[in-house]
Amino acid sequence: MLLETFANLGITYYMFLVGLEMDLSTVKYLSKKSFSIAIAGIVLPIAASAALYQLPKYVWYIDDSEKPLAWGFLFWSIPLSVSSFPDLARILADVKLLHTDIGRTALSVAIISDISVWILLVFAVTIVDKTDAMHMTVLPTIAFILICWFLLRPGIAWMIRKTVKEGGDFSAMHINFILTGVAVCGMITDACGAHSMVGGFMLGLIIPNGELAMKIMEKIEEFVTGIMLPVFFMVAGFRTNLYVLFRGASLKGVRYSVEMTALITIGATSTKILSTFLVSLCFGMSTYDGLALGNLLNTKGVLAVIVLNECRSLKVLDNTTTSIMMFAIVFMTALVGPIFSIAHKTTPRVRKYNQRTIQRSNQNSELRILTCIHSVRNVSGIINILEVSNASKKSPVTVFAVHLVELTGAASTMLIVHDSYKTNGNFNHHSRERAESDQIINAFIKYESRNEAVSVHPLTAVSPYNTMHEDICNLAEDKHIAMILVPFHKEATADGRLQGENRSIKEVNQKLLDTAQCSVGILIDRGLGSSSSDSTFQLNSSELSTGLNLAVIFIGGLDDQEALSYGWKMAGTPGISLTVVRFLLSTNDAASVDLVNDEDGDLDNDSGKEFDDEFINEFRFKTMCHQSIKYHEKLVDTGVELVEIMRTMYSDFDFYVVGRGRGVKSSPLAMDAELCDNPELGPIGDLLVSSDCTAHASVLVMQSVAEDLRSVSFRHKAKFGQKIWASPILNPYYKASVNQRN
C-alpha cells in the first residue's frame, strides 16, 4: 500500500514535469503535415485496436469471467496509439537525428499525439470510474481545468513578473509553494473523480517557461525521474502476473499468450506505420522517411504504462490481457531504437546535399555557414569573419550559430532551437551554460540586425565531446551547409602567441576534418575582433573592413582552391584588398610534384596541375579589372626558400586565408608537413601561426570536402560563378607579376 501511494505520487510529479516542459503556444505554429500525420496516427490505430480487442472473445473463446468489458476498448486503444514525446526525443538524440527534418516532424506529431491522448485518457477515466453519475465527474474536472487556465495561470505569471521587476531571485519559498501546489492539485482532481496526475499535469502546463521553471526542474527532476518513477515501474512490474499470463504454464495458455502478444505487436505496429506512411506520401515525403517516421511514432513511454496501471485499478481489463499488453508495449518500444538505427546506417539515402563547398556554390546564391561557438571568447572573431563575407541581396548569408555545450551527468544529448519549442528540459539545470548561450545569441542577433542580407538562426547543442562532431555534421547535412567555421583549440595572447591548449576541442576539430561533407574552416583569431566578455559586441562593420589587407597563399590542391574561393568572395566587401600569392616549383623541380589521395593512391601530376591552372585562370580573368585584387607568382626550389619569401615579402597582412594542403605530396613544404606542431592546420597554416613575423595576423585554414580526392580530382571543375571563364591568352594586355628569385 505504501509503495503504491508513493508510486502514484511519483506519477503526479512526473506529469507535472511533463507539463512544465510542454509549451502549448507552439501548437499553433505546427504545420498542416504534422496535424494530418498525428490525426491519422491516432484514429486508425484506435480503430484497429478496437477490432483487436474483440478477438479474445471470438477467436480464443475465453471464459465468461474474462470477457471484454464495456469500455475496455478505450484503455486498450490508448496505449497502442500513443507516441511518447519525451521518450521519442531521447531516441532521436541517441541516433543523432533530433534536429533533422524527420526528427522535427516526429516531435511535432508526438506533441499533438500526447495532447490528444491525454484528453482522451481523462475522458476515459471519467466515464469508466463514474458511469452512473458522469456529470458529477466531468463537470468538476472541466471547472478545475478552467480555473487553472483563467485564474491560476495569470496569478502565477503576475508573481513571476513582480519578482523579476523587483530584481529579486526565485527563493526556496516560491519553489516550495509550487511543489506543494502539485500535491494539492492532484488531491483536487482525485476528489473530482479524475486521476491525481491530471492536476499535476495542469499545474505544470500553466507555469510559463523561464527561470522559475528552470529552477523547479533543477530542484526535483533527478529525484522524480531517478527515485519516484522507478518505484512506479516496480509496482507496475509487481502487478504483471506471469502465472496468469501463461495460465499455469499449460500449453494452451502459453500458445494463447504468445499469439496475443505477437498479434498485438504486429497489428498495432503495422497500423501505425501504414497510416503514417500513407499520409506522409501525400505531403511529398520519401518512402524511407515515411516508413522511418511511422517506426519512430511507435515509441511508447510512461503514459502507456500509466494507462495500463489505471486499467488494473479500475478493473477495466482482466489480468491476462493487461499483462499481455504490458509485454507487447515493452517489445514495441524496445524495437524502435535498434530497427531505426540499423536502417538509418545501412540504407543508402540520396540527398540533394552532396559535398557542398564555397567553390561549388553559385556566386549569386545564398551562402550557408555553420559557426561553432565553445565560449563567449570565440564570438567576436567569428562575427568579424562573417562581417567580411560580402553578404548582399544577390548573395545573402545564412548563419547557423551553434553554441556547443559539453554534456555532463546522465542527461540526454539535445539540440535546442531558440525561439522554438523545447525538445527536452534537461538543459534547464545548466544555468551557467544557459546564461552564456543567451549572451552568445544576443551577439549574433545584433549582428543580424546590422546586416539586411544576413539571416541568423541561433541554436544550442548539448552533447559529449566524443560525439559532438556527429551532431555538427548532421546539422550541416540537414541545413545544406557550405562551410563549418570552428575556432582553434588554442587562444592567442596579447602578443599573438598561442597558449592554453584544449584537447577536447582539438579532438572535435580533427573529427570534423575527417568526416564533414562540406568545407571546414579553422579560425585562429589574433585581434580580427576583440575577445570581449561583453554581451553587446558592438562591432562597426565599416571600421572592420576599411584597410583590411587579406592574403591567400596558393600552392595547389582542392583545399587551396577552396581558400581562394572564400578569399575571392571576401574581396567583394568594400575596403578589403586581396593579394593572392601562388608558389610554383621551378622548372627543374616541377616533375617531382605528385598529387595523391592521401595514402590510398596517386594521381597524374598533369591532371592536378591542370585543375589548379584552370581555377587560377578563371580567377585571374574575372578579377582582371579589380584594382583591389592582386595576383603574384613565386618560383621556389625548397621549403626553406618559400619560408624566407613569406618572411620577407608577405608578412605584413592583417588576415591570411590558406588551404590545409591535403593531396599535394611533394609540394615545396612537403618535407616539413610531418614536423608541424599543428598538423590540422597544414604546413602553411602551421607556419603562419608559429612564425613571429606573422604573430599579429589572424589565420583561417580551409579544408574542402573530406572525401576521396582521387574521385573528386578527375571530375572536378571550377564552378565559382555563373560566367564561364575565358583564357587570359585572349587578352594580351593581362599579365601576372612573376618573379623568379628575390
- CATH fold label, 2-344: Na+/H+ antiporter like fold (1.20.1530)
Q: Summarize pLDDT for 124-164 with one digit per residue, the tens.
A: 766 666 555 566 777 888 899 999 999 999 999 998 888 87
How many Å separate Cα 712 from the centre of its chain?
29
Q: Summarize pLDDT for 325-343 with one digit per residue, the tens.
A: 888 888 888 888 777 777 6
**Residue 404 three-state SS:** strand
* 500 compared with 202, residue with greater pLDDT: 202
Least confident segment among 201-210, 319-328, 414-423: 414-423
Q: Are strands 576-585 and 548-554 parallel, antiparallel or unpaired?
A: parallel
Residue 736: predicted pLDDT: 43
Q: Count the Cβ atoms, other than its own, within 10 Å of residue 395.
A: 18
The number of C-alpha atoms within 13 Å of 444 and in the hemisphere containing its C-beta is: 31
% of the chain with per-residue pLDDT over 90: 30
Least confident segment among 479-493, 504-518, 694-708, 719-733: 719-733
Angle at 668 between CA 659 and CA 501, to 5 degrees: 50
**Residue 22 three-state SS:** coil
Residue 739 above 60 pLDDT? no
Residue 569: predicted pLDDT: 93
> Which of the four pLDDT bands, split at 50, 70 and 90, describes residue 122?
low
d(CA 395, CA 655): 23
Q: Are strands 737-739 and 629-636 parallel, antiparallel or unpaired?
A: parallel
The beta strand positions in 475-606, using DSSP E, are: 483-487, 491-492, 498-499, 519-524, 548-554, 576-585
- CATH fold label, 546-742: Rossmann fold (3.40.50)
Q: Summarize pLDDT for 494-528 with one digit per residue, the tens.
A: 777 888 889 999 999 999 999 998 999 999 998 87
With beta carbons less than 8 A apart as the criterion, state whether 564 and 619 touch: yes
CATH classification number, 356-541, choose in 3.30.420.40, 3.40.710.10, 3.40.50.620, 3.40.50.12280 = 3.40.50.620
> Which of the four pLDDT bands, split at 50, 70 and 90, describes residue 708?
very low
What is the arithmetic mean of pLDDT over 376-402?
A: 93
Residue 166: predicted pLDDT: 78
What is the pLDDT of the chain when averaged over all its residues? 79
Name 250's Cβ contacts closer than 8 Å, sequence gap at least 6: none
Q: Summarize pLDDT for 655-672 with one digit per residue, the tens.
A: 999 999 876 655 555 545
- CA-based nearest residue to 181, from 221, 152, 157: 152
The crossing angle, in degrees rounded to 10, of helices 251-282 and 319-346 is 50
**Which span out of 112-116, 283-287, 338-342 was modeled with the highest average pLDDT?**
283-287
> Which of the four pLDDT bands, split at 50, 70 and 90, describes residue 261?
confident
What is the arithmetic mean of pLDDT over 248-253?
A: 62
Residue 597 above 60 pLDDT? no
Q: Summarize pLDDT for 634-659 with one digit per residue, the tens.
A: 998 887 888 899 988 998 899 999 99
CA 719 vs CA 356, 520, 552: distances in Å: 12, 18, 19
Residue 605: predicted pLDDT: 54
Q: Are strands 519-524 and 698-703 parallel, antiparallel or unpaired?
A: antiparallel
* 18's grid cell: 511533463
> Which of the four pLDDT bands, split at 50, 70 and 90, describes residue 485?
very high
d(CA 261, CA 316): 19
CA 405 vs CA 103, 445, 460, 507: distances in Å: 20, 19, 7, 15
The beta strand positions in 562-688, using DSSP E, are: 576-585, 629-636, 655-659
How many Å separate Cα 607 from the centre of its chain?
39
Grid cell 501525400 in the structure block, residue: 282
Residue 412 above 60 pLDDT? no
Residue 228 above 50 pLDDT? yes
* 534 compared with 466, residue with greater pLDDT: 466
Pick left, alpha or beta for residue 580 (phi over 0 → left; psi -120 to 50 → alpha; otherwise beta). Answer: beta
Residue 675: predicted pLDDT: 65
* 607 compared with 210, residue with greater pLDDT: 210
Domain boundaries, the chain: 2-344, 356-541, 546-742
Residue 448 above 70 pLDDT? yes
Grid cell 549572451 in the structure block, residue: 439
Can you name the residues that pair with 456 across neighbouring β-strands?
Answer: 399
Residue 46: predicted pLDDT: 87
Identity at 237, one-letter amino acid code: G
Q: Summarize pLDDT for 558-584 with one digit per residue, the tens.
A: 999 999 999 999 999 988 999 999 998
Q: Summarize pLDDT for 163-196 with one digit per residue, the tens.
A: 877 777 788 888 999 999 999 999 998 888 777 8
* 369 compared with 709, residue with greater pLDDT: 369
| DSSP codes of every residue in 291-314 | HHHHHHTT---HHHHHHHHHHHHH
What is the arithmetic mean of pLDDT over 402-417?
A: 68
- Do the domains spanning 2-344 and 356-541 agree at the CATH topology level? no
CA 180 vs CA 9, 175, 176, 313, 439: distances in Å: 12, 9, 6, 26, 34
